[in-house]
Structure 1
Amino acid sequence: MVDKGLLCLLLGLIILCSRLTGMIEAEGTHVFSSSGENVALPCINALSGCTSTTWTYNKHRSSAAVELIYGGIKNKNIRDERLSLGSDCSLNIYKTTKDDHGQYTCQQYVNEQKHGTDAQVFLHVLHVSSSSTQTEMRSGSSVTLTCQLFTYKDSCDDFFRTEDLQLFWVNQVGVNLQTDSRYQILSSKQCIKILTTTLLNEDNNREWRCLVQMKNETKISVRYTVKFKGPTKTEAVPAVTTINTERLSTLNSPVTPIQHSQALTTTTTTLIQAVSVCKKTSSPTAPSAPKQQVPVIAAVIAAVFLFAVVLLGVICIKKRSG
């Protein structure tokens, strides 16, 4: 039989340890960054010269620690060129990615003996991804934007609750898009907000922001700007046909035999003049046309001559019948 007093003591120690662990983590420095930004993680327990400084990294609480810096020198097994040590012993990360989130610990070792307490820094990275490429952006298409805060905590819901964090989408003037029925915003976790909407013509060059607030203070935000690559949709305008009423009235009016005869005479005169022009063009004194144009000119002359003969025949028939 286990003594109840001893059992209560063990439970009390477990609860105390868990609370102390939570307090130690809460005392760490929280740094918020967005993908692509440069960030400097402070080392508040650094000694002068940074030769005693060591930086370690844990992606998650359950993962093993990785040594990044030892004695002020970067670990030669770390191939990431984005990491460097600042003059104040801070850890600099160039162009942060979502995979850089986690717990960073700055420690001091003097003569291979640990000196002072650890300085913990929790890096949280805000990242926005789109379901569509910019070449697919056009009016009438649907777009889905996923905003996620990557944290060290295994459960982001617990982290958001204990640190009083909020994640939401706003427009260019800071209005929460959750209140606009045009946007559908889903959330599987408190650290993920998925925005879906259908693009309109006026959305070209429009900006939306995903931001993180901690105790009602904005810590980080990511801007997403819509840019149309293709032409925007416009309403079709019916074509307007202009009718020459003067010409229409002329066509609809009856034609007398005299007018018909005059029209035929005028047409014949025009054709004869065209034939004469063609003959002048083909005369020896005129510049010779290129060889490929000779068949065309001959065909035109033959067609004009044939049409003139037909018209002359029609005129003769009309005169006889008149």
Structure 2
Amino acid sequence: MMGLQIFVRLLLLTCLLQTGVRSVKDSVFVYSRIGDVALLPCTKPISAGCSSVTWTFFRGGLVRYSEEVTRGRVNPDSDKSSRTTVTSNCSLVLSDLTVEDAGSYVCMENKEAVTDAYLSLLSVRSGSPITELRPGGNLFLTCILFTYYDAGSCKSYSNVIRVNWLDEDGKQLPRDDRRHKVTENTRCNVTLLINLQAEDNNRKWSCQVDTTENKKVTFLDFRSSFLFQNTLTDQTVKPPVTEECLAELPISRIVLCAVLPLMVCIVGFFTWKSDHKRAKISAAVIELQDVY
């Protein structure tokens, strides 16, 4: 009896598949960079005006679900509302991307899923203090691809995605040599340690995302601009500048240096004159008192 029930269910499922009664949706993988703009396509033709379209957002790990677009209009309660627009073909555009935007987006028409769009975002961070940006210093860079499920782990795409560090010529840096050390924490979390030399000033280092379907889907550059052009041993000690009215001073300071002593002399003259006059008057008063 149990075998007959299983056979009937399989027969019904086969009939449904043959008659086309099934949900078919597209999967799209979108890669962008923190701060950039991402276009999430709704891949199938939808009725004009997008009034039947809903976009939902899901982020794995710390589970989060929200409805970003309802009936073709951006949800004002969404924390992405100010950065979200809907195109004429009902695709979703996100601007000023942040880490929290990485996730799974679903375009639905009349509650039927049309497109799954998986957004991953690339970020490069420097762990070195700015004083290390000089010849002889160490530059520590971390490149992370924030995936829709778990940032930096690539769990769901372990054989699909890889993050690499490249030099200025676009060549992959060696894992470990005299100047570079590349550490792959995961396929989507790779660190680079560089022992800087003088020629590295303003040099470009690139973190690139490769997939099995498409080489170089996105990349992000970092330039090692030096704070100090020379090391401390190369710097010359200059004598302190004294507060004098030199020729190279601004005109306003030259005028001040010239006028200030003159003003002091004038004030001193009038003060002396006033004191001298008061002294003469006092002497005259004393003489009159003596007469009387």
Quote the residue 1:38 is aligned against.
37
Give the superposition deviation at 1:140.
Answer: 2.0
Amino acid at match of 2:230: T
Q: 1:79–1:152: structure 2 CA closer, same or farther, 3 Å change rule? A: closer
Q: 1:26–1:129: structure 2 CA closer, same or farther, 3 Å change rule? A: farther
1:1-322 pair list within 5 angstroms? 27-45=26-44, 46-60=46-60, 63-80=63-80, 81-109=82-110, 114=111, 116-132=112-128, 134=130, 137-154=133-150, 156-161=154-159, 164-179=160-175, 181=177, 182-215=179-212, 217-233=215-231, 236=234
Please tell me whether the aligned partners of residues 175 and 182 of structure 2 are also in contact (alpha carbons under 8 angstroms): no
- Work out the CA distance in 2 between the residues paired with 1:61 and 1:198: 36
Q: Which has the higher helix share?
A: 1
Q: Deviations over 1:257-306 (max 9, x none)?
A: xxxxxxxxxxxxxxxxxxxxxxxxxxxxxxxxxx9xxxxxxxxxxxxxxx
Q: Structure 2 unaligned runs (5+)?
A: 8-22, 237-264, 266-292
Question: SS state of the match for residue 49, structure 1?
Answer: helix
Question: SS state of the match for residue 87, structure 1?
Answer: coil
Question: SS state of the match for residue 209, structure 1?
Answer: strand
Q: Which has the higher strand share?
A: 2
Give the superposition deviation at 1:171.
Answer: 0.3
Please tell me whether the aligned partners of residues 59 and 149 of structure 2 are also in contact (alpha carbons under 8 angstroms): no
Please tell me whether the aligned partners of residues 36 and 97 of structure 2 are also in contact (alpha carbons under 8 angstroms): yes
Q: 1:84–1:158: structure 2 CA closer, same or farther, 3 Å change rule? A: closer
**Greater radius of gyration (CA):** 1
Give the superposition deviation at 1:237.
Answer: 10
- Work out the CA distance in 2 between the residues paired with 1:119 and 1:58: 14
Q: Percent identity?
A: 30
Question: SS state of the match for residue 174, structure 2?
Answer: helix
Q: Structure 1 unaligned runs (5+)?
A: 10-23, 239-290, 292-322
Give the superposition deviation at 1:166.
Answer: 1.8
Q: Deviations over 1:224-267 (max 9, x none)?
A: 111112232287599xxxxxxxxxxxxxxxxxxxxxxxxxxxxx
Give the superposition deviation at 1:88.
Answer: 1.8
Please tell me whether the aligned partners of residues 56 and 68 of structure 2 are also in contact (alpha carbons under 8 angstroms): yes
- Work out the CA distance in 1 between the residues paired with 2:215 and 2:145: 16
Q: 1:128–1:39: structure 2 CA closer, same or farther, 3 Å change rule? A: same
| RMSD, aligned α-carbons | 3.1
Please tell me whether the aligned partners of residues 134 and 227 of structure 1 are also in contact (alpha carbons under 8 angstroms): no
Query: Number of residues paired by the alignment?
Result: 214
